[in-house]
């Protein structure tokens, strides 16, 4: 079955449908990760996005339930140069995901790097390009969108009840890898909805602010809770959690032209001069800073990749220390956080 991708500027890429039939609207973005396609598609941070994989073949090693980062796919569509199956394409089809193979992903990525991430539609099956473009241009942009309520848990739940310390995770779109790493480091873990109050969180030994989708600036209530929480309990922010910590401490965030998405992003740890190869997935960033609290910096564009506020016992990482998927350079961040809580 034929299909196509239409970008809001009128550019069209032809392909073949290899999964569900229909149309999927969202922001067209790309990831440079060579592995972890199932983890990427099920990462809640990819909500409302169409993912282009730069790896030339996707699906080579099949699928497994343990690799999913959440209960369901959150990406709206998958764009590939060559899809391998049938396990991968069957998995996508069963979950209703539009997926196109045969896309000129090299040209698409160059287009997104030059013009920026943009609104798009992936169409699997018969469809009018003109009608698709007209519909795309009516879609909201990612900037200004608060999406965490759509992916957060509705009710608190216990992920792990065994541990030397008890950590609360605020679920803005938390990946299972974060929960596994916390439990593996020796923490009991309870997960809360995005709108949990500060008094509830302050009862725990530590708080982790998870990753999540969308623009951090509209999350004014979540930032207000964090402002009330700072100084009362140790805090670790990851990805969106890092951006919210930045906003709560007076910094600014902004939309990146095409985002940081992949498992090979170099980050400078300023205190040591060490360069970490990191896993990342974000379209917004904390503004560059030369202040002492900015502990890590992107070697791609100088954006702030880490924060530390000792007086408030709060720190954060824009990159993903749980590395699901990705290199393990940043693994110690979660382990050290739990060990410090246990030693307090």
What amino acid positions are annotated as catalytic residues? 239, 320, 322
| Residue reference for tokens 């997104």 | 112
DSSP label at residue 140: P
Which among 133, 185, 126 is positioned nearest to 159, based on CA atoms? 185
Give Dmax over CA atoms of the chain in angstroms: 62
Task: Say which residues have a Cβ less than 8 Å from residue 105's Cβ, sequence separation at least 6.
Answer: 30, 52, 53, 54, 56, 79, 80, 81
Strand, coil or helix: 97: coil
Following DSSP, what letter does each residue of 262-275 receive, concatenated? Answer: EEEEEEEETTTTEE
Task: Say which residues have a Cβ less than 8 Å from residue 110's Cβ, sequence separation at least 6.
Answer: none
Q: Cα 37 to the chain's mean position, in Å?
A: 13
Task: Say which residues have a Cβ less than 8 Å from residue 333's Cβ, sequence separation at least 6.
Answer: 236, 317, 321
Q: For residue 45, give both structure tokens.
A: 């941070």
DSSP label at residue 292: T
């Amino acid at each position: 079955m034929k299909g196509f991708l239409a970008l809001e500027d009128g550019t069209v890429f032809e392909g073949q449908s290899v999964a569900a039939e229909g149309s999927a609207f969202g922001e067209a973005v790309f990831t440079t990760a060579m592995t972890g396609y199932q983890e990427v598609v099920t990462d809640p941070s990819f909500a409302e996005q169409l993912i282009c994989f730069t790896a030339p073949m996707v699906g080579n090693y099949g699928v497994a339930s343990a690799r999913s980062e959440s209960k369901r796919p959150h990406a709206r569509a998958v764009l590939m140069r060559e899809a391998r199956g049938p396990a991968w394409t069957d998995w996508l089809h069963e979950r209703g995901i539009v997926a196109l193979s045969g896309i000129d992903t090299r040209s698409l990525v160059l287009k997104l790097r030059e013009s920026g991430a943009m609104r798009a539609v992936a169409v699997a099956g018969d469809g009018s390009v003109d009608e698709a473009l007209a519909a795309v241009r009516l879609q909201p942009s990612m900037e200004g969108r608060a999406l965490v309520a759509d992916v957060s848990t509705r009710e608190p739940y216990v992920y792990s009840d065994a541990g030397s310390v008890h950590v609360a995770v605020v679920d803005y779109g938390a990946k299972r890898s974060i929960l596994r790493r916390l439990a593996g480091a020796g923490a009991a873990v309870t997960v809360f909805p995005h709108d949990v109050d500060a008094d509830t969180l302050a009862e725990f030994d530590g708080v982790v602010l998870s990753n999540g989708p969308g623009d951090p600036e509209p999350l004014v209530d979540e930032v207000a809770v964090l402002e009330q929480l700072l100084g009362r309990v140790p805090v670790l922010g990851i990805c969106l959690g890092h951006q919210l910590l930045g906003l709560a401490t007076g910094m600014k965030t902004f939309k990146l032209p095409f985002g940081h998405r992949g498992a090979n992003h170099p980050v400078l740890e300023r205190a040591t001069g060490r360069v970490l190869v990191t896993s990342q997935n974000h379209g917004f960033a904390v503004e560059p800073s030369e202040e002492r609290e900015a502990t890590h910096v992107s070697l791609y564009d100088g954006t702030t990749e880490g924060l530390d506020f000792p007086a408030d016992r709060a720190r954060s990482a824009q990159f993903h220390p749980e590395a699901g998927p990705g290199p393990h350079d940043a693994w110690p961040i979660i382990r050290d956080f739990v060990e410090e809580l246990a030693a307090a």
